Amino acid sequence: MHSIHSQRTEVKNSGWAAFRLRLRLGLLVLGAVGVSASLRAQVPALGAPTTLEFGEVVVGAGGGTITTDAATGAVTGTSNLFPTNGLATSSAAIVATGKKNNTFTIFTTTGANFTMNRSGGGGTFSSSPGPINSENPGTNQFTFPNSGTVTFHLAGTLSVAGGLAAGDYNGTLPIFIQDQNGNSNTVNVLIHIRLIAPLALTNNADLDMGIVVPGVSAGTITINPGTGVQTKTGGIVFASASGTPAQFAVTGQPSHAITISFGAGTATLTGPAGTMILTISSSVASPTTLSAAGVANFAVGGVVAVAANQADGDYVGTLNVTVAYP
């Protein structure tokens, strides 16, 4: 039988102790701080435009078209319309604001007609604006500078119907801008044109220098257009003091200025002894103004030199008289 011995081993100079380890766990809350900032794209804006002014025109039979230039505002082309200087033309100026360096394009409703109405009523016509144009023809595209503000000018072609009553006609055309981000805005541009009555010139009497007998010395014959009095100088003898000035009547736009011209201011009379030169004079100065009824009357006379012993016979010529709105 074996015996069992128990053995205890003492370990000195060493020991152990139990201790509590406490770990305090707190809840860590991460707070989201809200930062208020506008991230919206700046929508382009349009200021009030000036008027697109086509000026004052006379419309030919059947109507026609007129075009203004965006950069200068001047009339650049007409078809059967005749501009005067009675009203200055101008393109429409529009101020646009938007985000710097953004591009934007201007346009109108493609093919849309708009109505031009006569001030005070009594007339209207429908017109297509034709291709609008700006300082950047073709693209009609602009870029906002660092200031965010740019001024562009708008012009185009206006179609005018024939047979319209004279007067001031107004209409509006919607103009859109759209930037590179698709943001857009619109404004209505006022369009104006003034139509005036065409001029008509009637010759009511021809110029007759009278019947004279040449003398042994040269002389002149004069018809005063204002008084109708016939006078002579030199060796000329009156066979009959029957000379009379030519008479003309003009009708057109009431109280409007007109010009009267006689070409070079002379006319050539042709007869048996070759030619004679008649120097023209008028009873009214040019320009002159039509009456409140739209009428002006004037007479034409002149002076012609007659050579000594000039061959007798009739000396006849043609005088070209032109009246026009300045």
CATH of the domain at 304: 2.60.40
**The total number of structural domains that make up the chain:** 2
Cβ-contact 116, 124 below 8 angstroms: yes
In a domain, 10, yes or no: no
CB atoms within 10 A of CB 111: 7
Q: Which residue has the tokens 């493609």?
A: 110
Domain extent, residue 211, equals 200-324
Q: In angstroms, rounded to a whole number, what is the distance separating the alpha carbons of residues 229 and 263?
A: 24
Query: Residue 241's pLDDT is what?
Result: 66
pLDDT in tens, 29-61: 333 444 344 434 578 999 999 999 999 999 998
| 8 Å CB contact between 113 and 171 | no
Instruction: State whether 118 and 210 are in the same domain.
Output: no
0.85 exceeded by pTM: no
Residues 141 and 210 both lie in one domain: no
d(CA 156, CA 75): 10
pLDDT digits (tens, 9 = 90+) for 268-319: 999 998 899 999 999 999 999 999 999 999 999 999 999 999 999 999 999 8
Report the percentage of the chain scoring pLDDT > 70: 86
Token digits of residue 192: 């104006």
pLDDT digits (tens, 9 = 90+) for 139-160: 999 999 999 999 999 999 999 9
pLDDT at 111: 62
DSSP state of 262: -
Looking at the fold, whether 87 and 210 belong to one and the same domain comes out as no
In a domain, 11, yes or no: no
- pLDDT for position 110: 59
Let me know if 95 is exposed, middle or buried by CB neighbors in 10 A (0-12, 13-18, 19+): middle
Which residue, of 133, 168, 196, is where some domain finishes? 196
Closest CA to 186 of 51, 50, 47: 47
The reply to whether omega before 287 is within 30° of 0 (cis) is yes
